[in-house]
Structure 1
């Protein structure tokens, strides 16, 4: 599941006030190797974030699948393989070990989104419903009804709606 959460983090980092810091935090959280070279790839990652956002903004399963297929065509190599390097549990690699940071991030996010959409029947990705937020999210909740990127946005939106009615 790293790929889908990394995809959301990359998209959200792109719209932050300090994308380099947010990307660094995301890469550390997801244990992305080679993050010391992040500075060299920021522009490419921000361009990739624009492509990734299209998946989260997709209006239905077909639109999301079309977006992911375009990402896979660009980002995933033909050499997908299973590995247990560095003492980690078995996991898929969508790009060769020797590929650079940008290529590996493209591959893991495209592949991760593809796997997630397969398992979630093309749903469970979204953009926060709070006006002006724009952060994306992955819905792993039990009932698949998430509308906000965080509890804070949901609460603030509820307060805003209450004030409009009062």
Structure 2
């Protein structure tokens, strides 16, 4: 395993210095799922939720979360993201919603945490908006799907 870069020579947490790194185009895509009762998913997809368009609110929440990632996760660099896309796909046969978040920038550090945060918060927002009708929803399978750019190059999950 590689050395953990968020620890200094004394084993203390610190923010990694990326000042000497080259600026490269970087992209990361992450996903999360939320499983619910069939009636809950139908209510959302048919536009019958009293709170409005659940997927639109979740999409906006995911975008905001990616922008606020460094405020939420200690030692995470604040980034000037150039693109954030949150796609929400209902899968009625599985009573599941799949959320895919992609973040991009031209910078010195990766955007994996921003993509993971966007997908997670979008799923949490769906839960929050629908918890009154379905407290048993399950959020899971949050994962990095791919990252492109930087010193380590391209990585794609084996899914």
Classify the TM-score, shorter chain. under 0.3
Query: Which entry has the higher C-alpha Rg, 1 or 2?
Result: 2
> Which has a greater percent of helix?
1
